[in-house]
């Protein structure tokens, strides 16, 4: 029994001793640990355009609502819905019978007025001749001249009425007053329309170019103006890019055309208007977009990867950098804004600093590390599969014997019991 217990103890102790003998010296003495490997990115100072993203809506650069200017029954629609129309193209036709009659009546009135004016002119000439021979009195002459002038004025009134009748007749054919895309017809053949009615017959919108109206807080405008003044910068051209509702970027670049010189008392925002070319008709009125507007340019700033920046307990942005002696230092940063996957840092970092982007969980300020510059992967590079480690054959305990205590004990007892069974007959 004593021999059996001794064999079991030896079978457990020997593998443990073999494992301890293979441990490196730094695992037994933490002071001799090698520098922790980390991945760093070297930063370089540069000038970066500061932008702001503003939500907005697309509006047509021009819009015209088609309404009738005369009363009548619509007899015909002369356009295709959703098509492009030009100024002067006929859109609707209204029953013109009544207006044709009005033109004929006005023409007759003009002829009558002209005949009366001619008779009055001749009468005035005859009375004038009699006056020269001292046959007609002065009052008779004045009355004849007044009648002549009144008849000539009546001719002008009749001609104006004729012009009005002809204009109303022309307005029975409703024409386009704007080049653009016409929408759906809001009336049909046989409908009664009236001059100046509330509901338009159709709407024409000019879609190339289009406008994008966005709002920006007055506080942001003041901040960017102060930054430009501090850096002695001129106002930039302020080109604008658009981010569409599906997350893609619009192909054409726009420009800021106007800003409302007024701050809304309720919201504290200013309305800005941008203009964009729209030859493909991708932008439609009412569409939600995000406008990325360049406000100013930050001089000598650094782009720090966002994965290398964290927050302390007070919420202040911090970063770990590696100095010239490969010692970790903690820096507190001043961040202007984000730029893609980077932070635009104005204070806390300097040109040539190496910021740690990988391995920050295993280090602390003051530790010596082994920095390695992060390499940009090639676009077509494919990651190679990790090779499985070969099992170590150094006499250590197998993996099956490194589980729980019961599993290790049972694994250690199995060979001992086999040996004991083999020696039992000898005893």
> 272-282 pLDDT, tens per residue?
899 999 999 99
pLDDT over threshold 60, residue 11: no
Q: Which residue has the higher pLDDT, 22 or 7?
A: 7
Cis peptide bond prior to 397, omega within 30° of 0: no
Task: Using pLDDT thresholds of 50, 70 and 90, give the confidence band for residue 228.
Answer: low
Higher pLDDT, 355 or 387: 355
| pLDDT of 199 higher than 90 | yes
Q: Which residue has the tokens 């960017």?
A: 224
CA gap 390, 242 in Å, rounded? 54
| pLDDT > 70 fraction of the chain, expressed in percent and rounded | 78
pLDDT at position 121 is 92
Quick one: average pLDDT of 290-296? 83
What is the mean predicted confidence (pLDDT) over 400-411?
39
d(CA 147, CA 261): 60
Instruction: Provide the pLDDT confidence category of residue 426 given band limits of 50, 70 and 90.
Output: very low
Return the pLDDT at 233: 53
- pLDDT digits 0-9 by tens, 356-400: 999 888 899 999 999 999 887 655 544 444 444 444 444 444 333
Phi and psi torsions of 340, nearest 5°? 65, -120
Does the pLDDT value for residue 141 go beyond 50?
yes
Say if residue 107's pLDDT is above 60: yes
Which two tokens mark 399? 């993996």
* pLDDT exceeds cutoff 90 at 415: no
| 338 secondary structure, DSSP code | E
Residue 295: C-alpha distances to residues 83, 92, 129 (Å) = 39, 48, 86
pLDDT digits (tens, 9 = 90+) for 142-156: 888 999 999 999 999
Give kind and range of the element (H or E) at residue 355.
strand 354-358
Residue-averaged pLDDT of the chain:
81
- Average pLDDT (315-322) is 94
Mean pLDDT of 133-143: 81
> At which residue do the structure tokens 């002459």 appear?
141
Higher pLDDT pick, 385 / 83: 83
**Top-confidence residue, 238 or 76:** 76
Closest by CA to 360, choosing from 308, 396, 290, is 308
Spatial separation of the C-alpha atoms in residues 321 and 306, rounded to whole Å: 14
pLDDT value, residue 398 = 39
Residue 9 has pLDDT above 70, yes or no: no
Predicted local confidence at residue 317, as pLDDT: 94
Question: 41: part of which helix (H) or strand (E)?
Answer: strand 36-42
Indicate if the pLDDT at residue 7 is higher than 80: no
Which two three-digit tokens encode residue 395? 């006499």
| Six token digits for residue 347 | 């204070």
Mean per-residue pLDDT, 118-140:
84
**Residue 252 · residue 277 · CB < 8 Å:** yes
Q: What is the mean pLDDT of residues 26-34?
A: 57
Domains of the chain, earliest start first: 36-47+300-373 (2.40.420.20), 51-61+203-299 (2.40.30.170), 68-94+172-199 (2.40.50.100), 96-171 (1.10.287), 394-427 (no CATH)
Q: What percent of the chain lies above the pLDDT cut of 90?
A: 53
């Amino acid at each position: 029994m004593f021999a059996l217990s001794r064999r079991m103890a030896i079978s457990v102790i020997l593998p443990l001793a073999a494992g301890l003998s293979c441990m490196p010296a730094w695992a037994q003495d933490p002071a001799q640990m090698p520098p922790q490997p980390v991945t760093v990115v070297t930063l370089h100072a540069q000038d970066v355009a500061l932008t702001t993203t503003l939500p907005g809506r697309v509006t047509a650069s021009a819009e015209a609502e088609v309404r009738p200017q005369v009363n009548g029954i619509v007899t015909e629609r002369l356009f295709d819905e959703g098509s492009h129309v030009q100024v002067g193209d006929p859109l609707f036709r209204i029953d013109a019978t009544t207006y044709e009659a009005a033109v004929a009546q006005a023409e007759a009135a003009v002829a009558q007025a002209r005949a009366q004016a001619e008779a009055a002119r001749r009468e005035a000439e005859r009375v004038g001749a009699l006056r020269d021979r001292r046959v007609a009195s002065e009052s008779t002459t004045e009355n004849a001249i007044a009648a002549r002038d009144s008849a000539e004025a009546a001719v002008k009134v009749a001609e104006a009425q004729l012009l009005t009748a002809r204009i109303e007749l022309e307005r029975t054919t409703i024409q386009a007053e704007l080049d653009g895309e016409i929408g759906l017809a809001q009336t049909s053949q046989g409908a009664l329309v009236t001059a100046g009615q509330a509901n338009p017959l159709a709407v024409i919108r000019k879609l190339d170019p289009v406008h994008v109206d966005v709002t920006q807080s007055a506080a942001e405008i003041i901040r960017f103006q102060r930054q430009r003044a501090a850096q002695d910068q001129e106002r930039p051209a302020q080109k604008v890019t658009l981010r569409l509702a599906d997350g893609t970027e619009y192909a054409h670049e726009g420009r800021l055309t106007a800003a409302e010189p007024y701050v809304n008392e309720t919201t504290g925002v200013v309305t800005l208007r941008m203009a964009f070319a729209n030859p493909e008709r991708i932008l439609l009125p009412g569409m939600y977009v995000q406008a990325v507007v360049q406000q100013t340019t930050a001089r000598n700033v650094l782009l720090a990867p966002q994965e290398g920046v964290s927050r302390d307990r007070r919420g202040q942005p911090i970063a770990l950098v590696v100095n010239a002696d490969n010692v970790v230092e903690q820096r507190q940063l001043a961040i202007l804004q984000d730029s893609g996957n980077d932070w635009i840092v104005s204070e806390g970092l300097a040109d040539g600093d190496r910021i740690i982007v990988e391995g920050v969980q295993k280090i602390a300020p003051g530790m010596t590390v082994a920095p390695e510059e992060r390499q940009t992967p090639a676009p077509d590079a494919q990651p190679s599969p990790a090779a499985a480690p070969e099992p170590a054959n150094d006499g250590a305990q197998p993996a099956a014997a490194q589980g729980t205590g019961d599993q290790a004990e049972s694994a250690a007892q199995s060979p001992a019991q086999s040996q004991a069974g083999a020696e039992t007959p000898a005893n």
